[in-house]
Amino acid sequence: MNEIKRQILNRSVMIALIGDDEQMARHFEIEFLKQAKASLAIIIENFNSENYVGIKEEAHYLKTSASAVGAEITANLLQELEGIALQNDKAKCKQQIKSLHQSVSQVYEVIRNEG
Amino acid sequence: MKAKHAELASRHPKVVMVYENADDIAGAATIISEQIDEYRTIILNDKTAKFLTTTKPAVILFALEDITKAIHIYSQLVEEEQVNHPHYSIVMCSNRESGLAFRCCIKGLFDNYFVYQPLYEKFRLKIMIHNGIRRGLSNDQYLGVQKENFDEIDEKLAELIDQSAECKQKLLNRIEASKDEILKATDEIETKEFVPQVSPKEIMGVINEEHVKPLLASLEQDIKSGLDTLVEQLVAQKIAQQAHDKQIKAISKVKLGKVEDVINVAAKQEKDKTPTVESKAVPKKSKIPKVLIVEDNLMYRDMLVNVLRKEKYDVEEAEDGLKAIQKIKKDSFDLILMDLYMPKLDGINATKQIRLVNGGKKIPIIALTGNKDKTIVRKWASFGLKGYIVKPSTKQEILDTVNKVLN
């Protein structure tokens, strides 16, 4: 269970990046959630208009933030979504976006419960 | 990469770009809007033809899904006389379709083409727009490219360019005047009813003696005096350069002498075991290194800024390649950290452009990349990378890479 939680939000990644500054880490975690919400909306909009390049670009953008805060599962899903979008496979994209939505919700839960 | 919508509007545009996908034209649209205010992008729909008929722009660019579509749309506009005013047409294409675009231009369908996917040659786009507008508008309607759009260059070289251009313009004016004179001369001969009595050879002889020879002599004088000025300038430049080189040599001799003295003193002090003077021999570098971070992701950019500022670096930031180039033109930097995928201008193309900016050739660049595709990183490295950081990386890795490059 702990290992799974660690993969949802591996806090040691951000500590290694910005240093052991709890307040700043908290700030970036909240920023990530805001960004994820906005990016998910853009990804869904692009999915509805079948703009696969747009999906890939937005996934790539959010992947940088997810990797930086240590949201490892989310970052992996985004990496996969980049590849799936290039295949123009609507069904696979839909499934991946659902998984992505779920993983961001899990990050939100961890931040809210352990803040 | 964050998609940005480029909606640019002018009520009386001289330049219009017809597009289908706003993301595709973001880079090109920004470049044109920097050059001319009377510019507008319009999406291709059932109102496009009416818009072009009403506004009659001097330059029309077609950035459509592919060239075939551009050919169809443009042909239809011309055939139905919805675009029936004099204009300069440019077809925008991907690198893959450049051969087809070239063919269209050779056949005279479009006046020119520009490869905007990927966008490499910003200034070629600018010169096409400039020539297109100049062809369609008078000097009063279009003032030309303003000084702020030029890169900084050596003042003397700028002067030389201006004078050479002036010299060429004079030459062209004289040629034009010669043509007029010859036509006038022929008219005169015809009106004097010389034609029936004089043979064509004799007419040519008269024209030659009375008009062409004096004009050629005058042209020769013009060119000679123009060239003399240029040669004088080049000689003056060379003399100045030689004087400067001599001065540098003299200074280095003095400096070398001082260094030797310092070494001798230091050696003596080492012998005397008085290490306090050592700091005078090797002064510490006092300048704070100035670093530019170019990254479109605001959050990651903030993190990097934070890491470097804590280490007392002077840090500036830019959200894409174009903004970075603008900053580099205004300010000098000791190091650039740059992302690969960015809107408007990506890392590879931004690096290429930076190398062309005055002083940009020597700025060390570190790539920020999450990309595992070594081919892309290798391609980027060919434009001069000093290192790379795999995102997100750690504070220690970032500082080690930065310090290694700066030292």
Q: Nearest C-alpha of chain B: how many angstroms from A60?
A: 6
- For residue B4, give how far its alpha carbon lies from the nearest alpha carbon of chain A (Å): 11
The answer to whether B5 contacts chain A (CB < 8 Å) is no
Q: What is the ipTM of this complex?
A: 0.93
- Is the CB of residue B341 less than 8 Å from the CB of residue A60? yes
Least confident stretch, A75-84, B76-85, B173-182, B377-386:
B173-182
Cα–Cα distance measured from residue B245 to residue A109, given in angstroms and rounded to the nearest whole number? 68
Mutate to test the interface with A, among B23, B294, B297 (most CBs of A within 10 A): B297
How far apart are alpha carbons B88 and B112 in whole angstroms? 8
pLDDT digits (tens, 9 = 90+) for B339-371: 988 887 888 889 988 988 878 888 999 999 886
Tracing tokens 């360019």 back to the chain, one arrives at B161
Q: Is B392 on the interface with A (CB under 8 A)?
A: yes
Q: Residue B310's pLDDT band (boundaries 50, 70, 90)?
A: very high
Longest dimension (CA), chain B: 111
**How far separated are the first and last CA of chain A, in Å rounded?**
18
Q: Could you tell me the two tokens for B169?
A: 């313009």
Question: What's the pLDDT at B3?
Answer: 39
What is chain B's mean pLDDT, rounded?
78
Burial (CB < 10 A; 0-12, 13-18, 19+), residue B318, is buried
Neighboring chain B residues of A24 at a CB cutoff of 8 Å: 306
Burial of residue B7 (CB within 10 Å: 0-12, 13-18, 19+) is exposed
CA distance, residue B23 to nearest chain A CA (Å):
9
Residue with tokens 């001599």: B246
Question: pLDDT at residue B245 above 80?
Answer: no
CB contact, 8 Å: B118 with chain A? no
Q: Answer whether the bond into residue B275 is a cis peptide, omega within 30°.
A: no
Is B146 a residue whose pLDDT tops 90? no
| Number of Cβ within a 10 Å radius of residue A103 | 22
Which residues from chain A sit within 8 angstroms of residue B296, using beta carbons? Answer: 61
- In angstroms, the separation between the Cα of residue A68 and the nearest Cα of chain B is 5
Q: Could you give the percent of chain A with pLDDT greater than 90?
A: 87
Q: What is the pLDDT of residues B179-238, one digit of tens each?
A: 777 777 666 655 555 455 667 777 777 777 777 777 777 666 666 665 565 555 555 555
SS3 B318: strand
In this prediction, residue B172 carries a pLDDT of 78
Q: How far apart are alpha carbons B351 and B340 in whole angstroms?
A: 10
How confident is the model at residue A23, as a pLDDT?
92
**Identity of the residue numbered B365:** I
Return left, alpha or beta for A19; rule: phi > 0 is left, psi -120 to 50 is alpha, else beta.
left
Interface test with B, best of A61, A65, A76, A78 (most B CBs within 10 A): A61
Closest by Cβ to A32, choosing from B2, B299, B370 = B299
Q: What is the mean pLDDT of residues B394-403?
A: 94
Name every chain A residue with its beta carbon within 8 A of the beta carbon of B338.
none
CA distance B258 to chain A (A): 45
Residues of A with CB under 8 A from a CB of B: 13, 16-19, 24, 28, 31-32, 35, 42, 53-54, 57-58, 60-61, 63-65, 67-69
Q: Which of B3, B306, B395 sits opposite A16 (nearest CB)?
A: B395
- Distances in Å between the alpha carbon of B78 and those of B43, B55, B110? 18, 15, 11
Name the DSSP class of B151. P
When CB atoms are compared, the residue of B2, B3, B395 closest to A17 is: B395
Cis peptide before B118 (omega within 30 of 0): yes
The pLDDT assigned to B286 comes to: 59
Q: In this predicted structure, what is the pLDDT of residue B244?
A: 54
Structure confidence at residue B249 (pLDDT): 55
3 state DSSP class of B367:
strand
| More reliable by pLDDT, B154 or A25 | A25
- Asked whether the beta carbons of residue B394 and residue A17 sit closer than 8 angstroms, the reply is yes
pLDDT band for position B281 (50/70/90)? very low
Burial B115-127 (b: 16+ CB within 10 A, else e): bbeebebbeebbe
Query: With 50 as the cut, is the pLDDT of residue B77 above it?
Result: yes
Tokens representing B222 are 């013009």
Has residue B258 got a pLDDT over 50? Answer: no
Task: Give CA–CA dist B151/B143, Å, rounded.
Answer: 19
pLDDT(B58) > 70:
yes
Which residues are CB-contacts of B323 (< 8 A; sequence separation ≥ 6)? B294, B344
Phi-psi region of B62 (alpha: psi -120 to 50; beta: other; left: phi over 0): beta
Higher pLDDT, B73 or B147: B73
Please give the span between the terminal C-alpha atoms of chain B, in angstroms, as a whole number: 32
| Interchain CB distance below 8 Å, B3 and A57 | yes
> Chain A: residue nearest B342 by CA?
A61
Please determine, for residue B14, whether its predicted confidence score (pLDDT) is greater than 50. Answer: yes
Query: Which one of B303, B311, B401 would you mutate to disrupt binding with A, by most A Cβ within 10 Å of its Cβ?
Result: B303
